[in-house]
Amino acid sequence: MNTLVLVGSMLILAFLGVPIVFAMLGASLLTIAIYRPFFPDEIFAQYFVAGVQNYPLLALGFFFLVGEWMNSGGITQRIVTFANSLVGHIRGGLAQTNIASSMMFAGISGSALADTAALGSVLIPSMKKSGYGAGFSAAVTQTSAVIGPIIPPSIPMIVFAFLAEVSIGQMFVAGILPGLLVGVGLMAVAYVISSRRGYPVSSQAGPGEIWRSFVSAIAALLAPVLIIGGVLGGVFTATEAGAVAALYAFVIGRFWLRELSWTGAARGLVRAATGTGQVLVILGAASLFAFLIAEFRVSQDIANLVFSISDRPWVFLLLLNVTLLIIGLFLENLPVMIIMVPIFYPIALELGIDPIHFGIVFVLTSLIGLCTPPIGILIYMSATLAGCRPEEVIRESLPFIAVLIGAVLVVTFVPAIALTLPELFFDRSQP
């Protein structure tokens, strides 16, 4: 009964359109009120504050800031130009450039929304002008934007690492190969579709042009090298890497490229603070919600249900994939993570599933919901940029979404894709 009150009330509020933070708070307060003799009055404030008093969460603000300052500092166009010099000559040149740019931009922003807004505003008009369909242009943009939170740095991976108490650095490194897998898969689909429709290609760039575009974009390309290289080299932690990267983004944009104005820097700071605050409020509410889940042994109840079906790890992971894909139709990825990680993570540990592998599978699967109807925010953002109906974007996105689901299954059943690099660079005895 207590589980029904807590989880049921939260789901009802969420599906009624109540913001997820208020849905969790409302469900938690209702549960505490009903079972008040068992909980002290200060439990609400205690767990809400404890949920955000965590040093690694400082990385959230820093990486939000990196994305804002890099984008305001004129980085986007340089990345697009360099990507086009590398892959523009392949069939579906601008579609290939779009996907390759997303893979490069992922090392800066860590956000699918930032990727869609920045690259979509540059590439979608160019694709339409070159004869690509508006729906196809938007579909390529929104599905390739999912790469942003997979290749490090990644906001969702920081949140997962906080919820599961695992290493942010290991999560970052584990996302590199899955991100490349997704990118290559999307490029293959874009090639097939572009070949059938006769979409154009760009002339092949010569070595000199490639070198000039590389030099122009090198400031952006060095950002992920600085972040990951510093973490792997033991120079700084993932949180400290965020601070270093933010300083780097400011210096590059303001003093080297000279395209980041003081006003732009201030606006980026405000937007980063706003984005960070929104995530922290959700995490505070999630901390209280997770406490009640633990008190009512919700995870154990679900574990018993799972074990009644099968005690094989691959069956559990497959059930997890299906569950997240369904829930992702109605909730964005961060709320899905915050609600579901406290429930499913203990079961994964009980089954002997590697925490980092579980984290990558969870993050990758939950991200698909960003580009699937009816809630997928990237659908509507890219449709607005392309000036077309969301239905067109959804229809054109289906082959690319199939690739995303295929990548999820490959990473799910081939753990080495996620674990090879962490095992190579980290002492895995310390998750």
- In this prediction, residue 393 carries a pLDDT of 93
Query: Residues 159, 338: contact at Cβ < 8 Å?
Result: yes
Which amino acid appears at position 384 of this protein?
T
The one-digit pLDDT tens for each residue of the chain (431 residues) are 667 787 788 878 877 878 878 888 888 888 888 876 677 767 777 777 777 777 777 777 888 888 788 777 777 788 888 898 989 888 888 999 999 998 988 877 777 887 888 888 888 998 998 889 999 999 999 999 999 889 888 888 988 998 888 988 899 999 999 999 999 999 999 999 999 998 888 778 888 889 998 988 888 788 888 888 887 777 888 788 888 888 888 888 888 888 888 898 899 889 888 888 887 888 788 778 877 877 777 767 777 777 778 788 998 999 999 989 988 887 778 878 888 888 889 889 989 999 999 999 999 999 998 898 877 889 988 999 898 999 999 999 999 999 999 999 999 999 999 999 999 888 766 54
The answer to whether 114 and 122 are in contact (CB under 8 A) is no
What letter does residue 348 receive in the DSSP assignment? H
Q: Which residues are CB-contacts of 288 (< 8 A; sequence separation ≥ 6)? A: 24, 25, 28, 43, 44, 47, 48, 51
pLDDT value of residue 37: 67
Which spans in 165-237 are helix H?
168-174, 176-197, 207-232
Residue 270 φ then ψ, to 5°: -65, -45
What per-residue confidence (pLDDT) applies to 71? 75
pLDDT at 336: 83
Q: Which two tokens stand for residue 86?
A: 């590398």
Instruction: Say how far residue 99 (Cα) sits from the centre of its chain.
Output: 16
Structural tokens at position 41: 């009055």
For residue 320 the two structure tokens come to: 């997890």
- Confidence (pLDDT) at 139: 95
Domain ranges of the chain: 42-425
At a CB cut-off of 8 Å and minimum separation 6, what does 337 contact? 156, 159, 160, 163, 362, 363, 366
- Please give the structure tokens belonging to residue 84: 């086009």
Between the alpha carbon of residue 183 and those of residues 14, 21, 331, 391, the distances in Å are 32, 32, 24, 24
Run of H or E residues at 160: helix 155-164
Q: How far apart are CA 216 and CA 10, in angstroms?
A: 49
Q: What pLDDT is recorded for position 264?
A: 87
pLDDT given for residue 260 in this prediction: 83
Give me the residue label for tokens 């937007």: 271
Give me the long-range contacts of 268-271 (CB less than 8 A, separation at least 24).
268/65, 268/68, 268/69, 268/71, 268/72, 269/65, 269/68, 271/64, 271/68
Q: What pTM did the predictor assign?
A: 0.83
